[in-house]
Amino acid sequence: MNETVQPETVDADRAVLDHFESTIAHDQRIEPRDWMPEKYRKTMIRQIAQHAHSEIIGMQPEGNWITRAPSLRRKAILLAKVQDEAGHGMYLYSAAETLGIDRGEMTEMLISGRQKYSSIFNYPTPSYADVGVIGWLVDGAAICNQVPLCRSSFGPYARAMVRICKEESFHQRQGYELLMTMMRGTDTQREMVQESVNRWWWPSLMMFGPPDEQSPNTEQSMAWKIKRHTNDELRQRYVDMSVPQAEALGVTFPDPELRWNAATGHYDYGQIDWDDFNRVVSGDGPCNAERIEHRRSAHEDGAWVREAAIAYADKQAARTKTAA
């Protein structure tokens, strides 16, 4: 390789970078075949792959209850909800693949722990009320995060987010309706709902990530318009939306400092205890190993199906050829 950089090359590099930056500045989308800085490409692959993995792993906590749903109606709804999450994973793998990474490779990286997924899915679902609370609070938090991402600067990701957001509304509403039904039931059912809310409230708040002052990557992501609001902004928006929903449902959040602040026009909330979350993040959560193990066995147990389908397709293609 020639080490001396020609002036024209520098100019050309500058020109493509300028073009990339002005595309973003004008709120236009970056499309897969466009030139983009290597760091942008890597960041997008990581972000989209992690999001896809989260959708896929996210099927497990609720999938846990499909066979034990209390009625055919609830079972059909839960199946549809979990199937949607699989679909979300597929939309996102498809978006990531436009950047030149292969879906099989991403699955391998998830299984081998080299790519990550959202830590919220490492919490267990010991109670049926968790199905409702996940729909209401966890999908609710996902909606807060995802609606701004419909305007992500990377076109395929933004388009996948539009599809996903349309479906998330069903997820949140079915969860809330499930909880409303339980709240109209017996004292035991109401206690189940409150107990579940107590377990999920803080992890849901932590989904928005570290406080802004400890979130060094935010600035670059905001400049690239792949993140539209800071972690704390989104978290506050979520708290403000959730409190009246809890009141209407008749449950409380486990935070004695949660109260309306007339001066700011927002709800104040207590200090988040990051120690517990850090434990879950660093792999010490109740379900980390189980989630990946389950994904791995599904992948490996399905290998013969993938091979058989290829063999069948090859045979059919050969037959068509000889017939022709």
Partner 1 sequence: MTEASPPSDSFTAEGGHGAVPTGPAVPTGSPTRSPRNSWPLWEVFVRGKRGLNHVHVGSLHAADGEMALGNARDVYTRRNEGVSIWVVPAGSITASSPDEKDAFFAPSGDKVYRHPTFYEIPDNVPHM
Interaction residues for partner 1, span 163-182 (CB under 8 A): 164, 167
Residues 45-64 within binding reach of Fe ion (CB under 5 A): 55
Instruction: Based on the shown chain and the rule CB under 5 A, indicate whether residue 88 belongs to the binding site for Fe ion.
Output: yes
Q: Which does 51 bind (CB under 5 to 8 A by kind): Fe ion, partner 1, none?
A: partner 1
> DSSP labels for 48-83?
HHHHHHHHHHTHHHHHTTGGG-SSHHHHHHHHHHHH
Burial of 155 (0-12, 13-18, 19+ CB in 10 A): middle
Residues 208-237 within binding reach of Fe ion (CB under 5 A): none
Per residue in 262-301, is it b (16+ CB within 10 Å) or e — as a string? eeeeebebeebeeeebeebbeeebebbeebbeebeeeeee
Tokens linked to 8: 């024209």
User: How distant, in Å, are the alpha carbons of 40, 172, 230 from that of 240?
Assistant: 33, 16, 16
Q: Which of 127, 194, 198, 221 binds partner 1 (CB under 8 A)?
A: 221
Q: Which of 66, 69, 79, 109 binds partner 1 (CB under 8 A)?
A: 109
Give how many residues touch Fe ion by CB under 5 A.
Answer: 6
Of the pair 146, 172, the CB lying nearest partner 1 is at: 146
Q: Which of 59, 77, 78, 106 binds partner 1 (CB under 8 A)?
A: 106
Q: Which does 268 bind (CB under 5 to 8 A by kind): partner 1, Fe ion, none?
A: none
Of the pair 7, 100, the CB lying nearest partner 1 is at: 100
Instruction: Based on the shown chain and the rule CB under 8 A, indicate whether residue 292 belongs to the binding site for partner 1.
Output: no
Q: Which of 171, 199, 229, 295 binds Fe ion (CB under 5 A)?
A: 171
Binding mask 107-146 for Fe ion (x = CB under 5 A): --------------------------------x-------
Give bridge partners of residue 154 from the DSSP assignment: 30
Residue with tokens 């199946």: 79
Please measure the distance between the N-terminal and C-terminal CA atoms of the chain and give it in whole angstroms: 50
